[in-house]
Amino acid sequence: MRILFVVNTLPSTDISGVGEQVVQLAAGLETLGHEVRILGRGSGGAAGPKLLFPLTVLAPFRRVCSEFLPHVVQVHESDGAMVSLMVKTMQAVTTPSPVLVALQQVSYVEEIRAVRPLTSAGRVLGRPGMREWRFRWFKAPTQVVFGLFTAWLADRVLAPSRQTALELERDYQVSDVGVLSNVTGSRVFVEGAPKLAQGEGYLLFVGRLRIRKGVEVLLHAYHRLRESYPDLRLVVAGSGEHRQNLEKVASSLDLAGSVEFLGARRPEEIPHLMAGASALVVPSIYEGMPLVILEAMAAGLPVVASRVSGIPEVVIEGESGWLVPPEDIGALESALREVQDDPAEARRRGRVGRALVESSATPAEAARRWSELILGRSAGREI
Q: 210: Cβ–Cβ under 8 A, 6 or more apart, which residues?
A: 132, 240, 241, 242
Measured CA to CA in angstroms, residue 82 lies from 165, 267, 269 at distances of 22, 30, 35
Tell which residue, 18, 34, 48, has the closest CA to residue 182. 18
Tens of pLDDT, residue by residue over 163-189, are: 999 999 999 999 999 999 988 864 443
Tens of pLDDT, residue by residue over 192-231, are: 445 444 445 899 999 999 999 999 999 999 999 999 999 9
pLDDT at 198: 42
CB 4 within 8 A of CB 39: yes
pTM (global) more than 0.85: yes
Cα-only R_g, the chain? 21
**Fold classification of 2-183+362-375 (topology level):** Rossmann fold (3.40.50)
SS3 state of residue 55: helix
SS3 state of residue 237: strand
CB 103 within 8 A of CB 76: yes
Peptide bond into 302 cis (omega under 30): no
**Which CATH number is correct for 202-360, 3.65.10.10, 3.50.50.60, 3.10.20.90, 3.40.50.2000?**
3.40.50.2000
Which one is predicted more confidently, 96 or 146? Answer: 146
CB 28 within 8 A of CB 366: yes
SS3 state of residue 278: strand
Q: Which residues of the chain are in CATH 3.40.50.2000 domains?
A: 2-183+362-375, 202-360
CB 285 within 8 A of CB 113: no
Q: Residue 119 belongs to what H/E stretch? A: strand 118-120
